[in-house]
Each structure stands twice: as C-alpha cells, then as structure tokens.
Amino acid sequence: MRRPLISGNWKMNLNHYEAITIVQKLVYTIPNETYETVDVSVHPPFTDIRSVQTVIEADSLDIFLGAQHCHWDDHGAYTGEISPVFLAKLDVDYVVCGHSERRELFGETDEMVAAKVEAILRHEMLPIMCVGETLDEREAGVTEDKVLAQVRAGLADRSAEQVASLVIAYEPIWAIGTGRTATADDAQAVCAAIRSVVSTDWGSDAGAAVRIQYGGSVKSGNTTELMAMPDIDGALVGGASLDADEFARIVQFAAG
C-alpha cells in the first residue's frame, strides 16, 4: 500500500526563525502515531533549510526535509541557482521540480524539468514532479493531453525503478492560490490517468508504486474527500501549510 505524503510548500514565505517555530509547533501538534501511516515533508525557502535541518536532526523528528527547486547541473556559472549537490549535503529528502509557478513565471520547460528530475535522482534525493493545466486548457478539454505530455516529457529516459520511487504532483494551475479546488472526482480522474500512463510506459509495478499528490488550494476541509480517492496518495499544500495548526489537521485527516 502506498503511504500518503503530505508536503508543505512554504514558497517565498517565512524567515529561518519563523520556519523553526512552525516545525517545532508541528511536532507538538501532530500525534506521534500519525507518522506511522503518513509521511510529512516541509519545503522551506533556501535560506531556511539549514536551520530546519538542524531542528529535525537534533530532535530526531519524523519529518522529511524538502527543497522547492534546484538546478540540473552540479556546478557552474549560474548566479542565483542552487546545485543539487548543496541540497544533498544538507540531507534534503525531496525536491519539488516543475512547479507551475516555476513553469509559468520563470519559463521552465519540460526539458528543464526532465534534467532536474535526473539530477535529483542522481544525488539520491526524490523528485516531486509537478504537472498541471491552465484554466484555458481545462475549458478547452485538453487537461489530460497537457498533463500526460508533461509526465512523459519529465520522466523521459528514467528507469521503471526510478519512476516507481518518485512523486508526481497534479496541481491544476487555475486552482493554486485562488481558493478554487478541483472536485475530488475531477482530481481523481486526472490522477488515475497519470497512473495509467506510468503503468503503460514504465510497467504495472511502477504504476502501482508511484505516489501521486494533488495540489491546489488544499485545506483541512477538503483533505478527507481528496484522500479517499484511490489514486490520490497525498497533497502538495501551499498557503495552508504556513499555519501549523491547519497543516497539522491536514496531516491528521490524511492519516485517516
């Protein structure tokens, strides 16, 4: 059975003091037994990662450390970019790549996302590869065409074993930060299509093992319904993860 993964993407929010406070509050708010059935990752800004890592390791917390982005090369003249080597040295577990905001605002292409997936895996971290459609694409009825093309492009040349180990996050662009959420049935339909294409292209074992998150205005009020869907294995949580109490409720609802 696939363990749910609930990931808090803090985006460009929280300085390192605030990040430490949230992590410490999560520890006191989420019951220990919850971690027996659900995985939790937090993805702070780069300036916070070392501070959060120190708290997680010093207190032996059952929380995975994540990053929001990385470059595909280990070193180079890329001012402002972050090497996957640096993240691996900080014991980062999960790295988000291909987030819609990176694609839409910073021009990341499917080829760039594929290169990042390879780099993250090469350094023994796990990608959370994001895919999703715009409102115009949704209304034009091409959601599955767009999303499945992103899946195939982002995972090009990856082995079945690699694909089985990673996470794909379906995050409809039109739902991110808008308060609008895909219905659980709609989200399930797209996540099922993603699992189907993974099974077709990388084998049934990979299709059964890959974890598929839903992201897009996830809140405690819709978590239970989303997590009841057979092909939704967790959530990539944005704004709601900035409130430790709300994020803790989402984690506990995901644990069942």
List residues with catalytic annotation: 99, 171
Angle between helices 46-58 and 16-29 (to 10 degrees): 40
* 3-state SS assignment for residue 221: helix
Element housing 39 (H / E): strand 39-43
Of 222, 254, 215, 255, which is closest to residue 237 (Cα–Cα)? Answer: 215
Q: What b-and-e string marks burial along 125-134, b requiring 16 or more CB atoms within 10 Å of the CB?
A: bbbbbbbbbb
Tell me the two tokens of residue 162: 């690699």
Give the other-Cβ count within 10 Å of 201's Cβ.
17
Tokens 């405690």 correspond to: 220
Residue 65 in tokens: 């450390």
56's enclosing H/E stretch is: helix 46-58
Task: Give the number of residues written for the chain.
Answer: 256
* Pair of tokens at residue 195: 């699992």
Residue 56: both structure tokens together: 């997680």
At position 91, the amino acid (one-letter code) is D
Phi and psi at residue 127, to the nearest 5°: -75, 145
